[in-house]
Each structure stands twice: as C-alpha cells, then as structure tokens.
A = this chain, B = another copy of it.
C-alpha cells in the first residue's frame, strides 16, 4: 500500500537502510550554519546547577532578558532521554567544567532592532587564546542575541550535564532582511501563537516579522481613531488585536531582535474596511445602479486621503519600525469601470480608460502621505506598484512575489532602476505538496540573477510567506516549521555553504528535533524520530 522508496527519491539512502530513519541527525551543529566555525574533539562540560552567564561589557534590558531566557532554553526544555542515559565520562578529551560564559557587549545597547542593525558575533569556547574559558562577544546587542542562540545549539545533554566541544565561531548574516510573513485576516491567530512563532524566528535568526494584519476577509486590527473598522470588519469582537496586543507583540519581538513590519494593503484587498468606513470603498454598479457590492478604495474621494493620513499616523506610532508595508497588489479594475463617478473623474483628468493610471494616482498620494508623516517612514510595496511605473521614494523596498522563474527578471529590473528589493517568490510556504518539499526552498538564491555588483547590493534579503487561507492556530506552527528554517539558513549563511540541500539535511534533522524538544510542534521532514517526540 505504500512504497516509501518512490516517495523519498531525494534520499538515495532511504531504501537501502532499514529499521532506521532516512536521515541521521548531526550532534551539536548550529543552524543556520555560521560563516566560520572551528570545532575540536576536546570538550568541556556544563552543569546546569552551577552555570551562569557573566556580563563583562555593556548591559541593558534586552540583554538581561535574553540571558534569563537562554538559561531556560538551554536547560529546561531540550532534554534528550537517550543522550541523558549515556552520561559523559572524563577521558583524555575532557578539558574541564565550563561554569561561566562571559558575555561581552562592546558598544552600548540599541533600543530597537532596525534595518541596518549589526548582528555579527563571536563565540570562543576553550579557544587557543583563552583556554578553558567561554565568551560571547559582539559590538551590538543584536549580535549577542544571535550568539546566545548559536551557543545554545552547541550543548548536548549527557547524563545530568551538557557537553560541548571546544569551538570558535565568527558569524554574521549574509542578508540584513530575513523575514517571515503571517496573515491574520483569512484566519485570526491568537497572540500566543504569534509569540510562539516569534520564538521560532529567533531560534532561526530571522529578524523581520511581516504582519499582514487585514485583508478582504476580516479586519482584526483595532484602531483608536477608527474603532468601527474592527467593530464592523472583524470576524467577531473576540477576533481583534487591541492596541495592547500590538504593543505586546512588538515588545516580544524587540526583545528577540525582531522588527515588526505591519502591512495595510490598499487600494485592493480592502473589502473588510468597508463596513466601518462608509465612503472608503468604490461602489460597484450593475446596469447603472449600485449593486450593493464594493471594490477597491475610491481614489476620487478626497476624504479618503484624510482618513488614510489619520489612520497611518496611528499605525506608525504603534509600530516603531522605520518601514511600513503598503501593499498595492492585485487591484481589480472591474468595479472602477462600472462606476459613473469614477468614469467622470477619469475624463476630467484626461485618463479615460487608463485604470493603471488611476491606481497610480492613488498610490502616489498614499506614498506621499506616509513619507510625510511625523515619523517619516519608509515603505515596502508589492511588486505591482513598481511594475505599474508608480514614482516611489528612493529608499522604497520592492517586494517581489510573483512566481518563479520570472522573479529573476523582476529583480533585475527593480535593482536596475536603483530600488532595494526583498524576494518571496520561491518561499510561499502556504503552498503545500506531498513529500520532501524543502529542497526547492534551499535552492533558491535571491542574488542568482544577471545583475551588476551594485544591483546585487540592493537585494536586502528575502521573506517566507505563510498566507492564511488554510492556516490557523491548529496548524500554523507545524506547517510553517521547519520549512521556514530552510529559508532562514539560506538568508543567513554563506552562499557557498548553502549550495547543497542534501548536505544540509542531517543538520536540519538535528535542528528540527531541537525545536521539537523545546516544545514547538514543528513537523517531521521524512521518516524519523526525535528523542523528544513522545
């Protein structure tokens, strides 16, 4: 009834070995793979009851919270029954107990993670220049966070202690923008699940949570200035993110070095805005009379721009990141075409029949509003805004999403025009299929297009997207992870180190078991077991 060999074509060993999982995990490897790493066979031993971190440089709330958090992550959650049952034994390779890891933050803490944050760090465990010592060093608190995560990967439970090899790591990300998008409009996701997802992002060194807050189906974002938007546009009064919820998520992310990038997509994908803001959406007509349905935001109504100004003023106060995502994708013209007031407006502006131009008028005004808010925000837009020739600010980030292989041409064009870009085309994780499906994620490289070095520099990174049509709290974590881990390594690690998916598989298997052991429902990649999957 099932020929497993046919399914696991990607793994030549799957049919040959019997009574075993397809891929055997590594032990104590860091995911995503560090830029440089040296490991000896000698080892030190950590005893949870005596171990502590010592801050020897700068300090701040983010660092304090992180040290406390990692003690929990390292010692409480990840218990491997099997490894624990084989306690370490002092032998010739034993170098000593590591009771203290020094945390050396060289420069002052920053308060907020940002687009240019420095995430470089160094780890030295029993290194030649500091034998028997352990240190995590960085010029930035963000680097310390990344270093703590890597350090936690080195530990292997053994009896009542943990062993770790003498190790030196010098690490930094390949890309500065390493994102994950969740959609809370097709299905509401409780704040607890958003936080679980932020935990997992931090454990994979992703640094941008793109929050697609609202869409046609529902408006779960509570605005103080326009409370009717969620009152009339959410699924129910319980399916709403209050100002406190948003602040809670932003703070949770901040402590983990993760930016929160809110998206309010307009002028399309806005049906749920309609009930709470009369006049905002275009009335659609059938046989010269309004038919009760609504289209995109009405770009001819001046009141709408005032509304948008107030609305985004509030948004940019609640979300401290420099960038907001303004959407701009998939605008359907049929409703505009049906509406006589729109037709008249277009005639008056000499753009009769040119609906792309009408869209451009709207987008241009919106971008102008957002760029001139007191917070002077920058913005991301979906690729259509660029494709339609809208004039955008120089620091705009064009979000490329249309599917492979056209994205290479698109990225070439966007960067030729001098704009920054983020790639999602190959990382739509909501598209599921049967079998081992992550190789294609690992084999996609945002810089693999014909472009000059200057163009390559404009590629900020990429973003995995989990659209929510078929995803809610029941399957969010298992469907997103560890598939998003694959994207995370691709965006963090060196191109030369991420060329071969098969080579990554044993490390990915270890990382999956690690995350499962920490209490997250990350799904399996192939026939396998984890010590903690009981």
Contact = CB atoms under 8 A, between A and B. Distances in A.
Nearest to A16: B293
B187 A18 contact: no
A216 B8 CA distance: 14
> Chain copies in the assembly?
2
A241 to B, nearest CB: 12
A236 interface: yes
Interface in A1-33: 1-4, 7-8, 16, 18-21
Contacts of A435: 469-470
A465 interface: yes
A82 B330 CA distance: 34
A118 interface: no
Most chain B CB atoms below 10 A, which of A7, A479, A516, A534: A534
A217 B330 contact: no
Interface string A257-292: 000000000000101101100000000000000000
Interface size on A, as a range, is 35 or more
A238 B430 contact: no
Interface stretch (A162-170, A368-376, A449-457, A525-533): A525-533
Interface in A326-358: 327, 329-330
A382 interface: yes
B1 A465 contact: yes
Given A434-B431, A469-B526, A527-B468, A474 B521 contact: yes
Interface in A388-434: 399, 401, 424, 430-434
Contacts of A81: 236, 238
Contacts of A218: 19, 529
A21 B526 CA distance: 34
B434 A239 contact: no
Interface of A: 1-4, 7-8, 16, 18-21, 81-82, 183, 186-188, 190, 215-219, 232-233, 235-236, 238-239, 269, 271-272, 274-275, 293-294, 327, 329-330, 382, 399, 401, 424, 430-435, 465, 467-475, 477-479, 516, 521-529, 531, 533-534
19 contacts: A1-B401, A4-B215, A4-B217, A18-B274, A19-B272, A20-B217, A81-B236, A187-B527, A235-B529, A236-B531, A239-B534, A433-B434, A434-B470, A435-B470, A470-B525, A473-B521, A474-B478, A475-B478, A478-B478
